[in-house]
Amino acid sequence: MEYDLVIRNGTIVDGTGAPAERGDVAIARGRIAACGRVDGGAAREIDAAGLIVAPGFIDPHTHYDAQICWDPLATCSSWHGVTTVIAGNCGVGIAPCKPDEREIATWNLVHVEAIPHDVLARGITWDWETFPEYMQAAARRGLGINVGFLAPLSPFRQWVMGEAAMERAATAAETERIAGLLGEAFAAGAMGFSLTVMPQHLGYQAKPLACRLASDEELRAYAKTLGASGRGAIEIALTKQPSGLSEREYALLELLSAASGRPVTWLNLRDRDDAPTAWSETLERAEPLLRRGCAPQVAVRPLVVEFNLRNPFLFASMNSIKPAFGDKSAEAQMRLYADAGFRRAFAEELKRRAVFHDLWERTQIKEARNPALQALHWKTIAEAARERGAEPLDLFFDLAIEDRLAVDFMIPLLDTDETRVAMKFSDPRTMIGISDGGAHVDMLCNAGYPTYLIGKYVRERKALGLEHAIKRITSEPAAFFGIADRGAIRPGMAADLAIFDFATIGCAERPETRHDLPGGGRRLVTAARGIRYTLVNGEILFADGVHSGATPGRTLRPAAASARI
């Protein structure tokens, strides 16, 4: 047969923004061999009549670094037509890592990305030490989808400096060694490097995540190392206020961009009800940075967070609650939450957090284990406080203590106004991302944003055209990270495809709970609707939601000739 697979009679949306066309797509040896009218025979054919044939979706911001050890499919991203993810974001990861520092790396993921320690202890395979070995181990175990790895700065500093990495800036000699390790990672195929300066990103024993302590001199050296490689990008989590950009944060972006000459993406540009014009004002202010290749990431789905006070990540930027971190027992946390001095300090600090201005009116009591509290399910803290004749803040902490910190709360936090959100992710100066796939596993699940985007905003709201939407989540992130052979449907490109029914594609509004992590760990997932086939490197990964058993994914490296956007 001339081809391995031919997809016939589909409506091809090629990822470039060009108008959709009816036609066929032929695949041979993992790559697209022909498009349009295909007359040759194939070992297998798919009739895509009535279906959209698009490039596989690319998610630029995930934390599947650990999850791929036990879940080669990187679920639930792959359920939604995602064929490539970028991992290693926010400066936190599990490579490089010496054997005696595995607990530090593990607790960093626990505190920064809210993945339970027991899950990580059971699931991480630790069949590597260096970063190149980590990438090789991922390929050796097998991957369902393609993964590009950013080099997260914290473990590189940890490797060279030990626990001092969480206490101070590096010396000149240490900086040189760290830069050398990063250079080895870039040569091995890392997509660039990542870091965070966000104050809520606490790591092992509630110490600052190591990359937060990097000096400007360090960052300049690391950026120059990336620039010398001639490929890759930088990701930085920096916005102390969602949708804002302080003078210091602006200066950091300027430093990284100028020193590297590479694209820089930052987190994040959220829409806030208390400051509805903040994101657009930030874009205007950042215009010189945008022209130089910087791009803020924006979300499609609203940020609805489920949380409890055993893991108070939601408030991690507040100094008053810092003592609740540091691997504390539940008993120690409950003593803190019961303390009147703590509550006064928390209340005072809360007044200075604009994003929490109506916290008690928005926060609902989702689920309590204590039968005496279950009558309060789905009431807001404000409503329950009125019923009990209590102050909302006191009730909030009292309920948590009464349920031994098991009670789950839920709050719609950011990106809740669909009209403004659509304006934000339609703006060509932004990059759609921040799914956080693999992280905050029992708090949220936004990994299904591609199907949500197409179902909610293209089909239902008609906020943007299908061709534009697909371009935004395929060829645009591919170009940014220098993934030269993916993100579009044309001959010679890798055959990563999402084939879907436009009439039914979508994603559940609310996630469902599953206990399918190692050891029965709990996570939230969102199922996909309307995805008929997902192909990775020419092989069918899913057909009507059923995994084929194949693991055709690869570890990706950026093209040497990739240019800033």
Provide, rounded to the nearest whole percent, the portion of the chain with pLDDT above 90: 91
pLDDT, tens digit (0-9, with 9 covering 90-100), for 500-548: 999 999 998 889 999 999 999 999 999 999 999 999 999 999 999 999 9
Element (H, E) at 172: helix 172-188
Asked if residues 526 and 507 have their Cβ atoms less than 8 Å apart, the reply is: yes
Residue 564: per-residue pLDDT: 38
Residue range 465-491: mean pLDDT, rounded: 97
Angle at 405 between CA 404 and CA 409, to 5 degrees: 135
Residue reference for tokens 């100094």: 319
* Cα–Cα distance, 191 to 553 (Å, whole number): 16
Q: CA 41: distance to chain centroid?
A: 40
Strand order through the sheet with 555-556: 57-59, 82-87, 146-149, 555-556
Residue range 420-426: mean pLDDT, rounded: 96
Q: Which two tokens stand for residue 340?
A: 């009147």
The domain 57-72+86-302+415-448: what is its CATH number? 3.20.20.140
pLDDT score of 70 more than 50 = yes
pLDDT score of 561 more than 50 = no
* 3 state SS of 81: coil
Residue 563: per-residue pLDDT: 42
**Res. 372 pLDDT band, cuts 50 70 90:** very high
Over the chain, what is the mean pLDDT? 95
Residue reference for tokens 């990542």: 194
* Cα–Cα distance, 455 to 511 (Å, whole number): 16
Output the CA torsion 378→381→385→390 (10° steps).
Answer: 150
pLDDT score of 200 more than 80 = yes
Beta bridge partners of 552: 143
pLDDT, tens digit (0-9, with 9 covering 90-100), for 492-502: 999 999 999 99
**Res. 122 pLDDT band, cuts 50 70 90:** very high
pLDDT, tens digit (0-9, with 9 covering 90-100), for 255-301: 999 999 999 999 989 999 989 999 999 999 999 999 999 999 999 99
Residue 327: per-residue pLDDT: 72
* Cα–Cα distance, 415 to 189 (Å, whole number): 34
Beta bridge partners of 51: none
> In the chain, where are the structural domains located?
57-72+86-302+415-448, 306-413
pLDDT score of 432 more than 50 = yes
Helix ranges restricted to H, 427-563: 449-452, 466-472, 475-481
Residue range 320-349: mean pLDDT, rounded: 93
Residue 326: per-residue pLDDT: 72
Residue range 122-139: mean pLDDT, rounded: 98
Taking the alpha carbons of 120, 510, 373, 315 in that order, is the dihedral positive or negative? positive
Q: Which of 151-160, 300-309, 533-542 has the lowest mean pLDDT?
A: 300-309
Residue range 77-94: mean pLDDT, rounded: 98
Q: Which two tokens stand for residue 174?
A: 């240490």
Beta bridge partners of 513: 524
Residue range 354-378: mean pLDDT, rounded: 93
Residue 509: per-residue pLDDT: 85
Residue reference for tokens 């006064």: 344
DSSP string, 17-44: SPPPEEEEEEEETTEEEEEES--S-EEE
